[in-house]
Amino acid sequence: MRPPLVEVRDLRKHFVVDAGRLSRARRVVPAVDGVSFSVSAGETLGLVGESGCGKSTLARALLLLDPPTSGEILFAGVRLTERDVGRLRRRAQIVFQDPYASLPPRMRVQAIIADPLRIHRVDRAEIPERVRQLLRDVGLKSDVARKLPHQLSGGQRQRVGIARALSVQPALVIADEAVSSLDASVRAQILNLFKDLQERHDLTYIFISHDLGVVKYMSHRIAVMYLGEIVELAPADELYREPLHPYTRALVSALPSLGRRGGRIRLHGEPPNPSDPPPGCKFHPRCPLADERCRRERPPLREIVPGRWSACHYAEEVPARMSEGAA
Amino acid sequence: MPAHSDVVTTRAEELAGPGATRALRRRRLGRLVRRKGALAGLFGLLLVAVVAIFAGLITKDPLEQDIANGLAPPFWAGGSLEHPLGTDALGRDIAGRLALGARVSLEISTAAALIGALLGLVTGSIAGFFRGWTDTVLMRLGDIQLAFPFILLAIAVLGVIPDRKPIHLILVLGIPGWIVYARVVRSRVLAEREKDYVLAARSLGASRPRILVRYVLPSVWQVIPVIAMLDLGFLVIVESTLSFFGFGITPPTPSWGSILADGRQYMVVSPWLPVLPGIAITFTVLSINLTADGLADVLDPKLAIGTFRRQILRLPGAAIALDEEARLLRVRDLRVDFSLEDRVVHAVRGVSFDLGRGETLGIVGESGSGKSVTALSIIQLLDAPGRVVDGEILFDGRDLTRISDRAMAGLRGRRIGMIFQNPSSSLTPVLTVGFQLVETLREHLGVAQAEARRRARAALVGVGIGDPDRVLRRYPFQLSGGMNQRVMIAMTMACEPDLLLADEPTTALDVTTEAQILEQLRELTRGSRTSLVLITHDIALVSQYADVVLVMYAGRVAERGPADAVIADPKHPYTKALLAALPHVDMPSGARLEPIPGELPDPADPPKGCPFAPRCPFVMDVCREVDPEPFVVGSDRTAACHLWAPERSEAVAR
């Protein structure tokens, strides 16, 4: 295992919102609530969870686009502070979900990719060749450079977004639902492109998606988020083969899978409101295993077997007890 | 009908494809000209501009006095053609004075509008982009200025200037205009700065001024021309007013306002004198405003797209005999066109299928495949540019494309229900969920209030809502998107329609909720109560919930057959490729997806022959020439692929 490129320790991002129109009270929404993990150089860490679980907030906090409330981020072993923003901008990049909104509508592709190079003072004479190279790298023809975003297909736009992210030669790329709005026949092209680029440029990825199939395909390890916390972290294969957290188990069994019918764990209740999380284990109101302890005590993320972490008081018993429940 | 028109206008734009947008822009001038009012306005404005520009050339010197010849009437009132519009008290040529007045008036107003626009663009974008105290200070300044009468301010300033030149008027009229522009620009910048491309620029290390100038402003400045045009009309009036009261340009340079003021004194002797400048002012301002309206239409193409109107198909149907099986729904050779400004997009090109009672049909396709348009055709809610041009949709023996609007309205909701993807636009924001749900049930099922309420609660419980009473009391905006979608689904299902069309019903929802809702839909089809058409991009979903699957590509049915069989052994190369390109959790690690090469076809310009031919690994010469018909490939299965043509199918052992 190579040394970690990114280490996150007890990261929190809390938003303060007005409690009501007439009240002066403020309420704190813990969008990211004490998250710790690390990503090795060259690794892909998948981040999966349902809407509102805080995965996008985590991505933005990591890049200091929305500075975290507390916690530490170490990049290549060095602790990041607000003053390191400039340095971080060359080492870490993000690819967004919506290829329509993430490209400036009135800028030509050439300018979109060249602008970061100008910002980082690349020799002007070199820029056109670098742009051509980047376009080739993401599988676009050079005539795309003269086009405006709306003249491109969704897949082409996402390739431009990737080329733009790679223009500053980053070490870390965060893909935030980067293939979720693409058509199925184009999605696989972009996923494979991400894989090829990782190999070619020795990239480290944090791959965020709500789609468990996509995350599994892309990731070496996967972190499952629920209401601002990581509830399970495990190597990709093992996570799907035998989840050690009841939520992961429900998530995996809810997946529509080709040809398989039935045999799923039904969750009760609704996904809770992130601004008003339940006490104790945040999953307890929907958990089939929940008991008195879960309602009181917040379970820490602990290593159950080497390399496998779960934030459940009964993690060791999850496989046995939940397969009974599903039958 | 906000929800439905939303769905279809976006679809019309989607259909137009990337290439079309540019073509659309090229036609904007054409559209401006075609609007009659705007054309008249543009023409009038041009006329005034020409007169202003050539003021000295086409008329007599407006400053030359000829007191002996004073107060001559215009030619139609007995005057000579030497002074076609007559003369004033000093014998100066009115035509010449009005022409020069036009130049003065337009020069001052245009320059003032430009100054206001420039100041407003700068202040508005700074306020919107940097927010915080800059924003507060600038906007409050604007409020204060707006609270103070603008004309009084202008008079106060101009009154102390002894020799008023155009530049003075330009500054006095132009500078206070900033706030009008600044407010609009600010709100646009506020919207743009939240978009991902701004976040991307930040993450790339772009400085804030750079983001504002290079990224945000290019998408914002387009609001300026329309406001500037309206502002121009206002400024022409203000300039005339000021010079009427003697605060305009210092005489003898004429201005429409001062000509009017002069003429007022001789109204009895020479009634045309004050009327002519009045006509000039009205004509100019009207022309400007008409042009501004046209400009607004052109810059916002959405205003040009028509509104919902169902069209009854007039063509005679083929009168397919209904067999004794009593199929609930038969669609035969359905064709839907979207007539765009410059061309016709064939969104659905000959789709046929049957649906029995209690059956679930899954329609799978990517964007532009025509799957949603097919559903909207069935419930007859296609929006303006879209129209069923041929085919039959037989529902319980009646052809929906040919029955009256009233008959169709009677079927919607009661017998044919539809669930849309976007939950928030499908419920009325001003009424509680409970009211909407109960009223719908009373209307469609004809039950009493108490019974409707009982059913509404049961329906909410059915879609996994734990405390229905709380949800019933809420307004839609107080609930999450997922919750609203469940309410919509509950409402549609509670009416127990014979046919339920669900267009990506769970795409906006999380997987755990998705599973819950699809189970609920499946429950509904039990006991042959409801037939379901499940439209989705997710082939895995269809494989789990549908009895029969229709794979659509570029407006055509590529493959049709029992869901299990199609997934287990796809016959059409597109279905095959789609399954191979799907990342699923059961994939062995290290396995690589096989993407489909190339892009989806442009719906406005599909390739000749088979639409999948350019991306197909098995493509043959015939595929590029002839669009294949659906060939029988097994029991109750078809595939529109030349590989399965009867004369060739024996040769293929795949």
pLDDT single digits (tens) B129-172:
998 899 999 999 999 988 888 888 888 888 888 888 889 999 99
Does A103 contact B at CB distance below 8 Å?
A: yes
pLDDT at B495: 86
pLDDT band of residue A35 (cuts 50, 70, 90) is very high
Distance CA A109, CA B369 (A): 28
How close B19 gets to chain A, by Cα (Å)?
A: 6
What phi, psi does A265 have (nearest 5°)?
-90, 120
Cβ contact, residue pair A270, B466, below 8 Å:
yes
Q: For B215, name the nearest residue in chain A, comparing CA atoms only.
A: A104
pLDDT at B21: 46
Cβ contact, residue pair A268, B466, below 8 Å:
yes
Which residues in chain A are closer than 8 Å to B536, comparing Cβ atoms? Answer: none
Which residues in chain A are closer than 8 Å to B210, comparing Cβ atoms? Answer: 119
How close B628 gets to chain A, by Cα (Å)?
A: 21
* DSSP SS3 for B245: coil
CA distances from B531 to A96, A136, A153, B357, B477 (A): 39, 49, 35, 5, 31
Tokens of B453: 């309420």
CA distances from B23 to A299, B33, B239, B342 (A): 59, 16, 40, 9
Distance CA A193, CA A197 (A): 6
Residues of chain B with pLDDT under 70: 1-34, 300-309, 315-326, 423-425, 527-528, 648-654
Minimal Cβ distance to A188: which of B18, B466, B581: B581
Residues comprising chain A, all counted: 327
Distance CA B308, CA B1 (A): 8
Q: Which of B577, B575, B558, B563 is nearest to B630 (CA)?
A: B558
Minimal Cβ distance to B540: which of A187, A236, A258: A258
- Residue pairs spanning A and B at CB distance below 8 A: 201
Cβ contact, residue pair B544, A257, below 8 Å:
yes
pTM as predicted? 0.84
Contact B11, B372 (CB under 8 A): yes
Contact B243, B249 (CB under 8 A): yes
Which residues in chain A are closer than 8 Å to B540, comparing Cβ atoms? Answer: 255-258
To probe the interface with B, which of A208, A209, A258 has the most B CB atoms within 10 Å?
Answer: A258
Contact A59, A206 (CB under 8 A): yes
What phi, psi does B69 have (nearest 5°)?
-105, 30
In one-letter notation, the amino acid at residue B111 is A
pLDDT at B507: 78
Listed in order, strand segments (DSSP E) in A194-279 are: 204-209, 221-226, 229-235
Minimal Cβ distance to A50: which of B18, B512, B595: B512
> What pLDDT, in 10s, does the model give residues A88-144?
888 999 999 888 889 998 899 999 999 999 998 888 899 999 999 999 999 999 999
Q: Please, which residues have CB within 8 angstroms of residue B232's CB and are 6 or more apart in sequence? A: B109, B110, B113, B288, B292
Cβ contact, residue pair A257, B541, below 8 Å:
no
How close A293 gets to chain B, by Cα (Å)?
A: 23
Distance CA A237, CA A243 (A): 10
Does A307 contact B at CB distance below 8 Å?
A: no
To probe the interface with A, which of B203, B474, B596 has the most A CB atoms within 10 Å?
Answer: B203
> What pLDDT, in 10s, does the model give residues B400-414?
988 888 999 889 888
In one-letter notation, the amino acid at residue B424 is S
Does A216 contact B at CB distance below 8 Å?
A: yes
Does A66 contact B at CB distance below 8 Å?
A: no
* DSSP SS3 for A287: coil
Q: How many other CB atoms are found less than 10 A from the CB of residue A260?
A: 14
Does A221 contact B at CB distance below 8 Å?
A: no
In one-letter notation, the amino acid at residue A232 is E
Q: Which of B533, B431, B433 is nearest to B486 (CA)?
A: B433
Does position A325 have pLDDT exceeding 60, yes or no? no
To probe the interface with A, which of B519, B585, B602 has the most A CB atoms within 10 Å?
Answer: B585
Per-residue DSSP letter, B590: T
Cβ contact, residue pair B516, A236, below 8 Å:
no
Which residues in chain B are closer than 8 Å to A192, comparing Cβ atoms? Answer: 592-593, 595
Helix or strand (DSSP H, E) at A93 = strand A92-95
Q: Please, which residues have CB within 8 angstroms of residue B409's CB and are 6 or more apart in sequence? A: none
Minimal Cβ distance to A213: which of B196, B514, B583: B583
Q: Are strands A92-95 and A172-176 parallel, antiparallel or unpaired?
A: parallel
Which residues in chain A are closer than 8 Å to B204, comparing Cβ atoms? Answer: 89, 93, 115-116, 119, 164, 167-168
To probe the interface with A, which of B512, B514, B567 has the most A CB atoms within 10 Å?
Answer: B512
Q: How many other CB atoms are found less than 10 A from the CB of residue B466?
A: 12
Q: How many other CB atoms are found less than 10 A from the CB of residue A295?
A: 13
Q: What is the mean pLDDT of residues A2-17?
A: 90
Q: Which of A244, A302, A225 is nearest to A30 (CA)?
A: A225
How close A106 gets to chain B, by Cα (Å)?
A: 6
Which residues in chain B are closer than 8 Å to A256, comparing Cβ atoms? Answer: 514-515, 518, 538, 540-541, 543-545
How close B264 gets to chain A, by Cα (Å)?
A: 53
- CA B280, B288, B45 angle in degrees (round to 5)? 65
Does A206 contact B at CB distance below 8 Å?
A: no
Contact B628, B561 (CB under 8 A): no
pLDDT at A273: 72
Minimal Cβ distance to B366: which of A116, A167, A183: A183
Q: Please, which residues have CB within 8 angstroms of residue B7's CB and are 6 or more apart in sequence? A: B372, B376, B383, B420, B421, B422
pLDDT at B13: 43
Which residues in chain A are closer than 8 Å to B205, comparing Cβ atoms? Answer: 86, 89-90, 116, 119-120, 168
Does A129 contact B at CB distance below 8 Å?
A: no
Distance CA B103, CA B595 (A): 65
Cβ contact, residue pair B597, A116, below 8 Å:
no
Tokens of B628: 């294949």
Which residues in chain A are closer than 8 Å to B596, comparing Cβ atoms? Answer: 185-186, 188-189
Average pLDDT of every residue of chain A = 88
Cβ contact, residue pair A185, B596, below 8 Å:
yes
pLDDT at A29: 85
Distance CA A58, CA A86 (A): 19
What phi, psi does B502 have (nearest 5°)?
-120, 110
Contact B294, B32 (CB under 8 A): yes
To probe the interface with B, which of A270, A283, A287 has the most B CB atoms within 10 Å?
Answer: A270
Cβ contact, residue pair B567, A259, below 8 Å:
yes
Cβ contact, residue pair B200, A94, below 8 Å:
yes
Q: What residues form DSSP beta bridges with A45?
A: A206, A221
Tokens of A209: 């998606």
How close A259 gets to chain B, by Cα (Å)?
A: 6
How close B296 gets to chain A, by Cα (Å)?
A: 19
In one-letter notation, the amino acid at residue B646 is P
How close A316 gets to chain B, by Cα (Å)?
A: 23
Cβ contact, residue pair A270, B464, below 8 Å:
yes
Question: Which residue is it, tokens 């431009």?
Answer: A160
What phi, psi does A45 have (nearest 5°)?
-100, 120
